[in-house]
Amino acid sequence: MPNPRIHLLLVLAVATALPWMPWQSLLALAVMLGSWHLSQGLPALRALGRGLWRLKWLLLALGLVYLWLSESDNGWLAMAEAGRRTAILMLMYTAVHTLLYRLSPRELTGLLIQVLRPLDHVGLPGQRFGHRLGLLVAKAVDQRKQLAQRHKAEGGGWISWIPRVLAAEIRQIESAAGQSAGAPEEPLLPPPSAWRDYLLGLAGLVLILVLLLWPMLPLEGGFGV
């Protein structure tokens, strides 16, 4: 895998290109992302499956919204477009998961600090924001399930516990962030990029561009023919 900074760049490129990719390219990308998770072993596939399962209601709600907002008068075409947009959201999460699964919380925090550090030069607290964002992700992963189970056990219906969970989690994250200056575990900054990382990044960007422009490529037997 490339340097985490190059990896993050590729994830952002994928997220930017996804809405304009045709169905065939989305399928090819799904195969590639699935193959990456498979190469990391069954725990990576299980972690991805658990993440997508936790998003099931959000994905279903967004799919219904896309179906309702569709401009097509044909019901099948509207369903196909809603399905395509939902698939894009799932692929976005899968692409981000390649980064989250690969990095530890310390490494992810260090990456965000390094990426956002240039904002300090224009008067914005980039490093501080990166540190809090990394802490947010780490705390959310560790505490979401426990908080949900505890507050759900208090009663109030199947959905009324969600605001309380979010409020409690935000308070804990903010409290931990405020005390993180003297924390024994400091963020782990990514190593400098080597020439191999840049080559892998360039190859990844070219592949994303090919997937984006596939229907326009003059390839015999290709998806665009």
Task: Give me the tens of pLDDT residue by residue for the chain, a chain 225 residues long.
Answer: 788 999 999 999 999 999 999 989 999 999 999 999 999 999 999 999 988 988 888 888 888 888 887 777 777 888 888 888 899 999 999 999 999 888 887 888 888 888 888 877 777 777 787 777 777 766 665 555 555 555 555 554 444 545 555 556 556 555 655 554 444 467 778 888 888 999 999 999 999 999 988 777 665 544 443
Q: What share of the chain is helix, strand, coil (3-state, %, to 5)?
A: 80, 0, 20
Give the Cα separation of 114 and 98 in Å (integer): 19
Position 224 scores a pLDDT of 45
What are the boundaries of each domain within the chain?
1-104+188-225, 124-184
Q: How far is CA 41 from CA 29, 47, 141, 224, in A?
A: 19, 10, 20, 33
Position 129 scores a pLDDT of 76
Other C-beta atoms lying within 10 Å of the C-beta of residue 130: 22
Query: Is pTM, for the whole model, over 0.85?
Result: no
Looking from the CA of 196 toward its CB, the CA atoms found within 13 Å total 4
Position 210 scores a pLDDT of 92
Position 149 scores a pLDDT of 53
Position 16 scores a pLDDT of 93
Element (H, E) at 127: helix 126-153
